[in-house]
């Protein structure tokens, strides 16, 4: 009986330690990867993504989008509104779930 409880506790302890080791190993891999110098292609890719991000924030939308893009966007939104009804199609829809009303019937 006591041996069985000791084995059960040891298996719980082993699983808890294994989870912590996996987490710490994963985090240390991320930390070491950040300190390591990147491949030139990866560095260029990250630089372009950061550059696009700053331009996008300054422009408030897509970067280097001409009047054709805005025209296509408006046509697509009009087509979707005709197909799916009114409302703002640029926002995620809000759902309202109400609790069902159950009535107890006497037996």
pLDDT at position 23 is 66
Q: Of 24-33, 74-83, 86-95, which gets the smallest average pLDDT?
A: 24-33
Is 67 inside any structural domain? no
pTM of this structure: 0.38
Tell whether 70 is covered by a domain.
Answer: no
**Would the pLDDT of 36 be above 80?**
no
Mean pLDDT of the chain: 77
Residue 49 within any structural domain of the chain: yes
In which band, very low, low, confident or very high, does the pLDDT at 48 lie, cut at 50, 70 and 90? very high
Residue 45 pLDDT > 60? yes
For 63, residues 6+ apart whose C-beta sits below 8 A from its C-beta are: 52, 55, 56
Q: Considering its fold, how many domains does the chain have in total?
A: 1
Domain that holds residue 22: 1-58
In a domain, 68, yes or no: no
DSSP states of 41-94? HHHHHHHHHHHHHHHHHHHTS-TT--HHHHHHHHHHHHHHHHHH-SS-TTSPPP
92 located within any domain: no
């Amino acid at each position: 009986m006591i041996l069985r409880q000791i084995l059960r506790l040891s298996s719980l302890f082993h699983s808890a330690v294994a989870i912590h080791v996996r987490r710490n190993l994963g985090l240390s891999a991320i930390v070491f990867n950040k300190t390591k110098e990147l491949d030139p292609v990866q560095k260029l890719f990250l630089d372009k993504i950061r550059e696009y991000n700053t331009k996008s924030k300054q422009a408030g939308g897509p970067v280097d989008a001409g009047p054709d893009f805005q025209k296509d966007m408006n046509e697509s939104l009009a087509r979707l509104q005709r197909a799916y009804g009114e409302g703002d199609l640029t926002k995620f829809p809000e759902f309202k779930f109400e609790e069902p009303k159950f009535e107890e019937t006497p037996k």
